[in-house]
Amino acid sequence: MSSQQKKSGASGSSQSSGSTSPKASSSTTQKSGATTKAEEQKLRSERIKGSRAEAQKKYEKNKREMQIIRIVGAVLVVAIIGAIGWGIWSWAGDKTDNAAPSKTVADYTYAGSQHSNDPQTYSESPPVGGIHNPVWQNCAYYAAPINNENGVHALEHGAVWITYSPDLPQDQIDKLKSIAEGQDYILVSPYPGLSAPVVASSWNHQIKLDGADDPDLTRFIKSYKQGPDTPEPGASCSGGTSATVAGA
């Protein structure tokens, strides 16, 4: 073999060993591309998961807020209904209590400011007006009868005198006593010979009642205590006498 051929062979061998195989380069490129796609899919999947988690959080938050709104709304509705119901009930109760007595109220025309220390005989029993003692009866509950002349003077000052039959059941007597102790210008005492279980009187007005629970008692008090016919409205109902009938 000539020296030229040897050089040529050596050169070709050198070129062959220094060059890269096309198949190897293509395989590397494919692997790199596959890795990039996998990473993109992973990132996309993580973003989707994150979006779903965020959407779930928002959903749960909105759900809680809606539950709170429903509860608050229900409470407000119940409160409003209760307030309306209470208002109607109170209005109905006040309207009933403030109404005029359903039973007949007897009316009279006695003039006030007529005083005398002498015992008096009255046409009505109990009396509703007329000449009376200069000293008034203190407004209170009495377990024994009081003198008519002092009771009439209390009426002149605007009091309501509630008289009851001595045989009235004790629970009803206790109720009348609580009325006297719970209000001003109320006088309560037993009165023998009444034509009804309870009789309420103011100056120039009187009503016969079925008992202490008769709703007309409250109505009479509201209508006639310190009423328009009171000769001396606002005059004291204390500082007078607390005496009862002697021997009663």
Residue 4's pLDDT is 46
The model's pLDDT over 19-33, given as tens digits with 9 standing for 90+, comes to 445 555 555 555 565
Q: Which H or E element spans position 162?
A: strand 160-164
Start-to-end C-alpha separation, the chain: 170
Q: In b/e form, how buried is each residue of 34-54, taking b as 16+ CB within 10 angstroms?
A: eeeeeeeeeeeeeeeeeeeee
Tokens of 131: 């000449």
Residue 82's pLDDT is 80
Q: What is the mean pLDDT of residues 149-161?
A: 98
- Render 225-237 in DSSP notation, one character per residue: TT-TT-SSTT--S
Residues in CB range of 166: below 8 A, 6 or more apart: 190, 191, 192
The model's pLDDT over 101-138, given as tens digits with 9 standing for 90+, comes to 989 999 999 999 999 999 999 999 999 999 999 999 99
- Measured over the CA atoms of residue 183, residue 184, residue 190 and residue 192, the dihedral's sign is negative
The residue ranking higher by pLDDT, 233 or 21, is: 233
Q: How confident is the model at residue 86 (pLDDT cuts 50, 70, 90)?
A: confident
The model's pLDDT over 42-82, given as tens digits with 9 standing for 90+, comes to 777 777 776 777 777 777 888 888 888 888 888 888 888 88
The model's pLDDT over 182-232, given as tens digits with 9 standing for 90+, comes to 999 999 999 999 999 999 999 999 999 999 999 999 999 999 999 999 999
Residue 34's pLDDT is 61
Do 129 and 110 meet the contact criterion of CB atoms below 8 Å apart?
A: yes
Residue 97's pLDDT is 55
Enter the pTM of the model. 0.63
